[in-house]
Amino acid sequence: MSKRISRYCAVSILLAAFNTLPLMGQATYQPTAENLKARQEFQDAKFGMFIHWGVYSVLGDGEWIFHNRKMTVREYERLPRFFNPQKFDAAAWVALAKAAGMKYITITSRHHDGFAMFDSKVSDWNIVGRTPYARDPLKMLADECHRQGIKLFFYYSQLDWHHPDYYPRGKTAVDRGPWDNGRPDRGNWNAYLDDYMDGQLRELLTNYGPVGGIWFDGMWDKPDADWHLEKTYALIHQLQPAALIIPNHHQTPKPGEDVQTFEKDLPGRNTASFNTTYVSDRLPLESSNTLNDSWGFNITDRKYKAPEQVEEMLVRSAGNNSNLLLNIGPMPNGEIQEEFVTRLRAVGEWLSRYGEAIYSTRGGPLPPADWGVTTQKANKVYVHILNWNAPLLALPPVARTVKTAQELLTGSPVQFTQSSTGLVLHVPAARKDEVDRVIVLAVE
Ligand code: H79
């Protein structure tokens, strides 16, 4: 009996050790000085533009249309012939991101359809090889980003609905299927990873100048597979040490990863039900979301978020020590629809007044709450009041001594009392349509 117990103990100790493995891995991965600097800059940036754009945009029904309509590879392969974005204007896209107050762009270099939106020599399943456009928009965008001082990240789908070597196939073909799109029931998984995927990543990190990082997606399709992550991550960091690896695998961070990202969620909330509730206290955090309800262009999606909703999302992200990566799906002709443009410009205008309390801040000293959040930088704490109608706001104690409190926009003094039980602010009445009342605390 005692033997059995000790064996049980040994097993649980082992299991506990395995549970902490991801953390130990993070500890043993030593990011370079350039990488650590890039992480700080990433956190300072706070607001990025996510772009989903591919041959699926032609059908105006999102980036999952290949799967949703259970198309065959042969059928889907017709799409590139209709993709001819004559109105694509890299300078206009980058200028729009800047006008919105966004500091970086993350664009789909290829989505789950495996179609490379760049000039790839690894396979001709790409925009230059298969479309009448026959040009490389990512190259134009990269050049323009460098010119306009915006960082460019590449989204890269590890999941592939097109390549025969993506085999054995994953959940999206089996559990969410069955979906047989005509590929052979055999394939070389190692070749898919080592030759095809790593080959394309090598191109992306070699031919486009300094890249902000790689945003991986789709590993959740085969959560138990060996993805050769160490090899792929080492390749990326070797080619560009400052490039951040941002995996959207919905799991605890693994060795070699530089940012923890949360899809359609604030860190740890898991309202989307597929995210992890674990939040890294070491890595920069990011929260992605959509400006309407779609990632790829969806012609009938009218569920646009109002600028005020985006502003609140951005403030709540910052208060959770996180960036917001906000998505738009450009049209197949290369234009960005007016509904997105006007909303993004409105957010940018708002940021020109409130940005001080967001950019370059970190999550503040108080826990995020329903009334609002706090952010901080240097000797300032910004109290963002998002949902509070009473004249007094009683907050938990703030460890540092508050010297003065004033409204961000007007500089008018705000009365307060600080004690060991908490901080009470006499909050000014909200102006009409004011999303965020910001009170700046000078602290020592
Ligand atoms: O690129 C956008 C989407 O196309 C892609 N990620 C964003 C950024 C995305 N695909 N699916 N999802 C997001 C939702 C995830 C659903 C999941 Fe599942 C639930 C993943 C794991 C559980 C569905 C069921 C897919 C696999 C099993």
In 15-171, which ranges are E strands? 47-51, 104-110, 151-157
Single out the residue of 147, 177, 144, 146 nearest to residue 161, CA to CA.
Answer: 177
Q: Cα–Cα distance between 306 and 385 in angstroms, integer?
A: 19
Check residue 3 and give its pLDDT: 40
Q: How confident is the model at residue 7 (pLDDT cuts 50, 70, 90)?
A: very low
Check residue 430 and give its pLDDT: 87
User: What is the spatial order of strands in the sheet that 362-363 belongs to?
Assistant: 362-363, 372-377, 380-385, 437-443, 402-407
Check residue 24 and give its pLDDT: 39
Q: If you measure from the C-alpha of residue 2 to the centroid of ligand 1, how many angstroms do you get, rounded to a whole number?
A: 47
Positive or negative torsion for Cα 157, 163, 165, 170? positive
Q: If you measure from the C-alpha of residue 174 to the centroid of ligand 1, how many angstroms do you get, rounded to a whole number?
A: 14
Q: Which amino acid is at 242?
A: A
pLDDT tens per residue across span 372-394:
999 999 999 999 999 999 999 99
Q: Token pair for residue 118?
A: 């760049």
pLDDT tens per residue across span 257-300:
999 999 999 999 999 889 999 999 999 999 999 999 999 999 99
pLDDT tens per residue across span 391-421:
999 999 999 999 999 999 999 999 999 999 9
Cβ–Cβ contacts within 10 Å for residue 399, how many? 6
Q: For all residues of the chain together, what is the average pLDDT?
A: 94
Check residue 2 and give its pLDDT: 40
Q: If you measure from the C-alpha of residue 64 to the centroid of ligand 1, how many angstroms do you get, rounded to a whole number?
A: 9
Output the residue whose Cα is nearest ligand 1's atom 14: 274
Residue showing tokens 């992306």? 204
Which residue from 171, 265, 276 has its CB within 8 A of the most atoms of ligand 1, so it is best to mutate?
171
Q: What's the whole-number mean pLDDT along residues 177-182?
A: 89
**Of all atoms in ligand 1, which is nearest to the CA of residue 111?**
1
Contact 265 CB / ligand 1 (< 6 Å): no
pLDDT tens per residue across span 315-365:
999 999 999 999 999 999 999 999 999 999 999 999 999 999 999 999 999
Cβ–Cβ contacts within 10 Å for residue 277, how many? 10
pLDDT tens per residue across span 79-119:
999 999 999 999 999 999 999 999 999 999 999 999 999 99
Check residue 75 and give its pLDDT: 98
Q: What's the whole-number mean pLDDT along residues 138-154?
A: 98
27 or 152, which is more confident? Answer: 152
Say which range, 1-5, 160-164, 187-191, has the weakest mean pLDDT.
1-5
Q: If you measure from the C-alpha of residue 220 to the centroid of ligand 1, how many angstroms do you get, rounded to a whole number?
A: 8
Write out the DSSP string of 269-306. Answer: T-TTSSS-S---SSS-EEEEEESSS-SS-BTT---PPP
Contact 354 CB / ligand 1 (< 6 Å): no
Residue 10 has pLDDT above 80, yes or no: no
Residue 439 has pLDDT above 90, yes or no: yes
Residue 16 has pLDDT above 90, yes or no: no
Burial class (CB in 10 A: 0-12, 13-18, 19+), 358: buried
Report the percentage of the chain scoring pLDDT > 70: 93
Residue 51 has pLDDT above 90, yes or no: yes
**Of all atoms in ligand 1, which is nearest to the CA of residue 62?**
4
Check residue 215 and give its pLDDT: 99
Q: How confident is the model at residue 174 (pLDDT cuts 50, 70, 90)?
A: confident
Check residue 272 and give its pLDDT: 87
Check residue 22 and give its pLDDT: 41
Q: If you measure from the C-alpha of residue 172 to the centroid of ligand 1, how many angstroms do you get, rounded to a whole number?
A: 9
Output the residue whose Cα is nearest ligand 1's atom 2: 295
Which residue from 274, 295, 325 has its CB within 8 A of the most atoms of ligand 1, so it is best to mutate?
274
Residue 12 has pLDDT above 80, yes or no: no
Q: Cα–Cα distance between 354 and 373 in angstroms, integer?
A: 14
198 or 8, which is more confident? Answer: 198
